[in-house]
Amino acid sequence: MVFSSCISQPFSSSPLSMMKRNITAKRSELCLDSSRISLDNRWSFIGGSRISLRRNVSSNSYSVAHKRCSSIQASWLATSQIASSVFAVGTTAVLPFYTLMIVAPKAEITKKSVESSIPYIILGLLYAYLLYLSWTPETLKYMFSSKYMLPELSGIAKMFSSEITLASAWIHLLVVDLFAARQVYNDGLLNKIETRHSVSLCLLFCPVGIVSHFVTKALTNNQSK
């Protein structure tokens, strides 16, 4: 009995079991933030017990990437909203002038409204603002993408791939179309030519409206002779 008890005691307090208890105690003492530090506990007969601390950067990297994606998405949404708002404002702003030139071409209010430069100033400022927002270092490269420094269709297509650039092009068209419609209207008043159909075409298809006015003017002059 005495011999067996003496034999069992060394095995119960062997180096392996004591080392495991030490490791357990060290683990309980290390109360570290798991989101920042990860515990790597490795044991071997040759090297003994080894505890290494490794910084866990995956969560921080994810949070930084998530913040960047959120800021890019918010910027894109803001730019898209600005483009949609300016598009609606510009389209609505020119409609009263076309309506007056078509419905009441000889009225005094129409003549005074058409001669006003306010719509061109407002649309010009909107265009300049959109041009500023849409301008990138690649804009000139897209505009003059050929080896002869001339525009190419592929480059123009890339340039107008964003909504803000499309909105600026739409404002540009509104200004040019309204100016052409005013010229047609004034020429009709001066030469007593019907211009309502040509002005209507200038709103949607400006080059066709200009051609329509020239044809109408030629036919009117032939009939008067």
Measured at the CA of 154, the angle between CA 82 and CA 173, to 5 degrees, comes to 45
pLDDT in the model for residue 13:
47
pLDDT in the model for residue 38:
45
By the 8 A CB rule, do 151 and 158 touch? no
pTM of this prediction?
Answer: 0.63
By the 8 A CB rule, do 94 and 119 touch? yes
Quick one: CA dihedral 113, 115, 116, 122, positive or negative?
Answer: positive
Please count the residues of the chain: 225
Phi and psi angles of residue 54, each rounded to the nearest 5 degrees, phi first: -120, 135
Q: What digits encode the pLDDT tens for the residues 174-183?
A: 999 999 999 9
Residue 57 has pLDDT above 50, yes or no: no
pLDDT in the model for residue 158:
83
Non-local (6+) Cβ contacts of 221 within 8 A are none
Domain assignments of the chain as residue spans, ordered by start = 13-56, 82-224
pLDDT in the model for residue 83:
86
Q: What digits encode the pLDDT tens for the residues 197-206?
A: 999 999 989 9
| More confident of the two residues 62 and 198 | 198
Residues 51-60: what's their mean pLDDT?
A: 49
Phi and psi angles of residue 145, each rounded to the nearest 5 degrees, phi first: -90, -15
Residue 8 has pLDDT above 70, yes or no: no
Partners of 52 in the β-ladder: 40
Residue 33 has pLDDT above 50, yes or no: no
